[in-house]
């Protein structure tokens, strides 16, 4: 079962750590989704304990990749940057205006890399829900030059 980093508390240290999952309520804008995923993790743990079910749960970082949502009103950080860079390139612009001050931190993971990790992840009977991301965050201002360079 795949969880979501939206399950983590709205206020927690960054980079997030697995043991922080239950330390508070998720960000209100993502709460319904985050709490529902927490419920699924709890269900998996209960099924494992009561029936011996081998349900593996994993929580990936913020995913991006092909098939993403590139709508500037509803997309996440990287797809919004990609769209703005492509539109700037196509218009011959020499600069791109990004939202915010560049200080928010995120953990990012390319969707294909996540899929590979999920396929290769070993079966587990532990009650742990491992997180799939690098143990470091980067700011959105650190991310934009990386995306520009590719």
- d(CA 40, CA 56) in angstroms, rounded, equals 11
So which residues are the catalytic ones? 33
Output the CA angle 17-112-138, nearest 5 degrees: 40
Residue 92 phi, psi (nearest 5): 75, 20
Tell me which residue of 137, 139, 102, 131 sits closest to 5, measured CA to CA.
131
Tell me the β-bridge partners of 109: 63
Half-sphere exposure of 113 (CA within 13 A, CB side): 12
- d(CA 86, CA 92) in angstroms, rounded, equals 10
């Amino acid at each position: 079962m795949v969880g979501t980093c939206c399950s983590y508390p709205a206020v927690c240290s960054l980079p997030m750590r697995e043991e922080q999952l239950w330390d508070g309520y998720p960000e209100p804008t993502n709460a319904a989704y985050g709490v529902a995923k927490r419920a699924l993790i709890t269900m998996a743990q209960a099924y494992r304990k009561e029936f011996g079910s081998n349900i593996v749960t994993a929580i990936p970082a913020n995913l991006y990749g092909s098939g993403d949502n590139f709508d500037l009103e509803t997309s996440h950080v990287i797809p919004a940057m990609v769209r703005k860079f492509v539109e700037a390139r196509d218009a011959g612009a020499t600069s791109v205006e990004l939202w915010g001050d560049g200080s928010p931190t995120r953990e990012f993971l390319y969707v294909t890399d996540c899929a590979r990790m999920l396929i290769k992840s070993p079966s587990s009977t532990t009650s742990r829900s491992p997180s799939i991301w690098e143990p470091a965050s980067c700011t959105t201002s650190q991310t934009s030059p990386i995306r520009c360079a590719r």
